[in-house]
Amino acid sequence: MAMASSQPLQPAFRRSGRLRGTSLEDWARRGLIAYFIFASMAYLPEALNDIASMRVSYAKFAIGEPLFGPSLRYVKDILMVALLGLFFWIDMRRQERYRLAAHYLPVILLLLYGTAVLAYRESTVNLYQVAAGGRSLLLILFCVKAIGLMRGRPEFIRALARCIGWLLLVEFIVLAIQYALFTSRFGVVNPFSLRLIGTFGGISLAGYLALGSAMILYAARPRLGRVQRRLGPLLQLLALGVAGMSGTRSAIIGCFLIVFFLLVEKVLLGRKRPGSAYLTPAIICFSLLALTGGVQAATLMADRGSIVEAQVEGGRIDMLTGFFTSNPLSVVLFGDGIGYGTNAGVNLNKQLEVELDHQIMDGTFNSILTQYGLLSLSLLLAAAIAAAPGLLRKLRSRSLQLYVFVVVNFVLCISTNILEQFVYLFLLAACWAVLTDGEPSRSASGALGRTAASMPT
């Protein structure tokens, strides 16, 4: 709805209900911040309970003993479903049939397709397995809708950056205390080899929070306040520390690459010199060496062997090749059905003993192949290739940021299924909203300076 008319009329419009849609969008954006906080701090009560009890938090928490009563771990799921309902209601009120078809229809078709393959292969439909696979689809839809709410909203990005700063600080403090409790009982060890869990319910997840935070802080620098920009390098180092203490090698590599590109931009870019047009391609080529250095740094920090060898020998790449060699052609082409090989399916099977036909298939490509088959993955890649030329033209001024975005996520897609990561996929959506947004306007830049003093991070 256009709002270019005089500002004093806004309260009257609000009383008459003409800006009710905008009000719903404002509530939705507040809901996104709440979702991010609860998704990042889902196990904070359990972590504080272990700290108060001087108990080592290494692999899992005592779920039935949160310090403040009920556990918070399902609040993010409730918020996601509630916000999806709100997004759908907003689209219905606007009567935007294109959005309804482009956003909701693919999710419905994938749900029906995956369920049909599951029913054909198993001669039955296990609702738990459908729920395990459907949860990822809902998360993808949620993040797609969130992009539309975040794009063109610098004030929201600043609020999100402020929230990220505080959450990274809390996460680092919790991880540091967990490390201190571990060493008090078992002696001093390499802090980056323990795979501490922080405020999450599983290993590696704190690292994904750190990597997602590093990415959005890197991409959104022009839209941040003056104090936020000054604290940016400190927050990037804090994110690298969180990634290191989580022992997540792919997150360590990603955070290392972002710090590398920040240093390169600080030293080289923005200066007029002969041959400056070739500077960005040269940096991209040189970044391959930086990637190699990041792999070595992650190997030394995590102290768990080479990440490349781990993926090839019994790891995600080995699983990927095994999918083609160990399955009949029908499975390779059409998959095993929705929910197969997902972490959600594995957890459901452990917690509820629902006898799902499953196995652990980490990796984004592995998960898509296992559930939907090679045909679906080929269609997805074809759509991405078709959209690439237009996207490259649109993001020509941000080619370096787009390159960092692609490289970091390609590494992560091999090591984990990002389609099941509540925090990381949301931060990825925020980063994409910033990258595909127009350049910040002068008025917005002025607002940055006016609001900088009120933002501690």
Do 196 and 58 contact (CB within 8 A), yes or no? yes
Q: Where do we find the tokens 């197969």?
A: 340
Q: Distance (Å, rounded) from C-alpha 306 to C-alpha 294? A: 11
Q: Find the angle CA(155)-CA(160)-CA(164) to the nearest 5 degrees.
A: 150
Query: HSE-up of 93 (CA within 13 Å, CB side)?
Result: 16
Distance set, CA 299 to CA 142, 288, 304, 435 (Å):
35, 17, 7, 31
Q: Distance (Å, rounded) from C-alpha 210 to C-alpha 230? A: 19
Q: Distance (Å, rounded) from C-alpha 451 to C-alpha 454? A: 6
Is the dihedral angle over the CA atoms 39, 356, 373, 116 positive or is it negative?
negative
SS3 call for 353: coil
- What pLDDT, on a 0 to 100 scale, did the predictor assign at position 7? 41
Eight-state DSSP code of residue 153: -
Counting other chains too, the contacts that 448-454 makes at CB distance below 8 Å and 24 or more residues apart are 448/154, 448/158, 448/223, 448/224, 448/225, 448/226, 449/225, 449/226, 451/155, 451/158, 451/225, 452/225, 452/226, 452/227, 452/228, 453/227
- pTM (2 decimals)? 0.84
Eight-state DSSP code of residue 452: G
Q: Distance (Å, rounded) from C-alpha 128 to C-alpha 348? A: 8
Strand locations in 390-449 (E) = none
Q: Distance (Å, rounded) from C-alpha 229 to C-alpha 445? A: 12
Q: What are phi and psi of 6, to 5 degrees?
A: -60, 140
Q: Distance (Å, rounded) from C-alpha 228 to C-alpha 280? A: 26
- What pLDDT, on a 0 to 100 scale, did the predictor assign at position 163? 96
Q: Distance (Å, rounded) from C-alpha 392 to C-alpha 398? A: 9
Q: Which two tokens stand for residue 378?
A: 């080929």
Q: Where do we find the tokens 């979702």?
A: 35
Among the listed residues 130, 139, 136, 138, the one whose alpha carbon sits nearest the alpha carbon of residue 340: 130
Q: Distance (Å, rounded) from C-alpha 371 to C-alpha 117? A: 9
- What pLDDT, on a 0 to 100 scale, did the predictor assign at position 213? 96
**How many other C-beta atoms are found inside a 10 Å radius of the C-beta of residue 336?**
26
Do 245 and 172 contact (CB within 8 A), yes or no? yes
pLDDT along the chain (457 residues), means of 10: 40 40 82 97 90 80 72 91 93 79 90 92 84 92 94 93 96 94 87 87 91 94 89 93 88 87 74 55 68 69 62 67 84 89 78 68 85 91 88 79 85 86 95 80 37 35
Distance set, CA 237 to CA 192, 204, 210, 294 (Å):
15, 18, 10, 14
Q: Where do we find the tokens 């490289």?
A: 407
**How many other C-beta atoms are found inside a 10 Å radius of the C-beta of residue 389?**
9
Give the alpha-carbon dihedral of 279, 284, 289, 290, to 10 degrees: 100
Do 147 and 432 contact (CB within 8 A), yes or no? yes
In angstroms, how far apart are the furthest CA atoms of the chain? 68
- What pLDDT, on a 0 to 100 scale, did the predictor assign at position 269? 59
Q: Distance (Å, rounded) from C-alpha 57 to C-alpha 201? A: 10
- What pLDDT, on a 0 to 100 scale, did the predictor assign at position 280? 63
Q: Where do we find the tokens 């923005």?
A: 270
Q: Distance (Å, rounded) from C-alpha 240 to C-alpha 246? A: 10
